[in-house]
Structure 1
Amino acid sequence: MATQRKVIITCALTGAIHTPSMSPHLPVTPEEIAESGIAAAEAGAAIIHLHARDPITGKPTQDPAVFERILPRMKGATNAVINLTTGGSPHMSVEERMRPAMEFKPELASMNMGSINFGLFPMLSRYESFQHEWEREHLENSRDLVFKNTFADIEKAMTLGAANDTRFECECYDIGHLYSLRHMMDRGFISGRVFVQSVFGILVALAPILRM
């Protein structure tokens, strides 16, 4: 008999990369996001990676008031671990990205393990029109966009999180982020078993397939 291998399924409901025009199935309102989270948990997801959107425009937001419309409904309907993003959007400051985690003190939060060019502009050629003007700007402006997470940023966020007993999902977009993770472990900011998410497909970051 083959040995059964236990796996943990984590589901990101909406993220911050895709825009409403890219899919009619992208959850945008707090009600849609909560229902998507509940459905994911019922389908077997043990962790729900939670971003929020402005319910009118669909633009990523870290406003705790929007998260407050999502969290009680999900917590009341599922036992899944809710992983609050501290990534938010690369257009946001570190302080803005940390707001939900500081407000709600989750058991798990995401943490980008370094700064990186965040080029989304190749998606512009896939769509002839957009529902909202911010979507085109969001993609076009990524030609000159760095997702900033310096060592000082990571230290600050992890220190604040530790005070709230929050552990981190360490998001590694590139090989160098693994070395950043090792460095933070050596300095004692991360201990115990490490939860790593490898993020594929961002321009100049990890790619699932090497092209020659």
Structure 2
Amino acid sequence: MNYDVVVTCAVTGAGDTVGKHPAIPVTPKQIADAAIEAAKAGAAIAHIHVRDPKTGKGARTVEYYKEVVDRVRSSNTDVVINLTAGMGGDLEVNDASPTKPGPNTDLVSAIERLAHVEALLPEICTLDCGTLNFGDGETIYVSTPVMLRKGAKRVQELGVKPELECFDTGHLWFAKQMFKEGLLDAPPLFQICLGIPWGAPADTVSMKAMVDNLPEGANWSGFGIGRNQMPMVAQAAILGGNVRVGLEDNIWLDKGVHASNGTLVDRAIKILNLMGARAMTPDEARKKFGLKKRH
């Protein structure tokens, strides 16, 4: 059991949730306000995607990230900034013409995926540690071993801590290989991502199998999506880890009740408190994860 827990809030994501919730953060101002809201509710880390303000779809525009980060950093609310570096990995495959990428493809190189990280130097950025059938359609998230090694090396050179997002056991296996090769500084930081079709399911067996295979001395967090978000909060703490909640992963607080990032963080911390645990502050999280404070 972990009694000193780092809470991350993933405030918006890039998924198709805009039409399913009345207040998904879309504009840079809304996303920054969401990160600040989460921090005030007790989250130590804000995990940030950006969206196209006109369409609401996920984006990787450096200017959008800059506005979000500037707004958060200039506020009076301390929070660790964790920027996704997963955008630019989408490949849509049409079975009728598999050699021609579909219209929803957004596939760029490992270094191009880090353009905003290079520009803004957050304390954490994600590194999605493998290719995955993402959802039930024809979209694949592509992250090859060559791409990952290039991305990990560049992030290491920048002095940013990579959060190693592992959606299945093979992703964890390769992340450990990069650590062995010296591409990741100690202590490594893992995020166990459960419930995304078709990665590892959000259940005790899957989470424990991945935790049992972490390298010695690693820090880790875990989450489940949808209705499994709060059960996985409890499960991660029981297994000795940290937790993630937020509108990226779940839009409901209760049946028929839309959540906000603040209410999800508040619910997670209440669960932790009832288990005898507490949420750590941003500075405590920095020390625990070995981060370089940027502001």
1:115 and 2:131 aligned: yes
* Counterpart Cα distance in 2 of 1:199 and 1:69: 28
The runs of at least 4 consecutive aligned structure 1 residues that moved more than 6 Å come to none
Who is 1:180 aligned against?
A: 174
Shift in CA distance, 89/206, structure 1 to aligned 2, threshold 3 Å: farther
Q: Secondary structure at the match of 2:164?
A: strand
Q: What is the CA–CA distance in structure 2 between the aligned matches of 1:149 and 1:51, rounded to whole Å?
A: 18
What TM-score comes out, normalization by structure 2 length?
0.60
- Deviation of residue 19 (structure 1)? 3.0
| 1:150 maps to amino acid | T
State the TM-score, normalized to the length of structure 1: 0.82
| Residue 41 of structure 1: how far off its partner (Å) | 0.5
Q: 1:161-176 to 2 correspondence within 5 Å? A: 161-176=155-170
Q: Is the 8 A contact 1:19 1:59 kept in 2?
A: no
Work out whether residues 90 and 145 of structure 1, in 8 Å CA contact, stay in contact via their aligned partners in 2: no
Structure 2 gaps, min length 5: 91-105, 205-295
Name the stretch that deviates more: 94-103 or 53-62: 94-103
Higher strand proportion (structure 1 or 2): 2
| 2:16 is the alignment partner of 1:15 | no
Letter in 1 for 2:171: H
**TM-superposed deviation, 1:99:** 1.9
Deviation at 1:204, TM superposition (A): 1.9
Are the equivalent residues in 1 in contact too, given 2:27–2:52 (CA < 8 A)?
Answer: yes
Q: Alpha carbon RMSD of aligned pairs, Å?
A: 1.8
Q: Residue 89 of structure 1: CA displacement? A: 5.5
Structure 2 counterparts to residues 89-168 of structure 1, below 5 A:
90-91=89-90, 92-95=106-109, 96-119=112-135, 121=136, 143-168=137-162
Change in CA separation of 1:206 and 1:89 when aligned onto 2, cut-off 3 Å:
farther
Name the structure, 1 or 2, with higher relative contact order (CA <8 Å, separation 6+).
2
In structure 1, the partner of 2:211 is none
- Structure 1: tracts of 5 or more residues without a match: 122-142
| Alignment check: 8 A CA contact 1:118 1:146 kept | yes
| Alpha-carbon distance between aligned partners in 1 of 2:89 and 2:183, rounded to the nearest angstrom | 23
C-alpha spacing 1:173/1:181, structure 2 compared with 1 (3 Å): same
SS in 2 for 1:16: coil
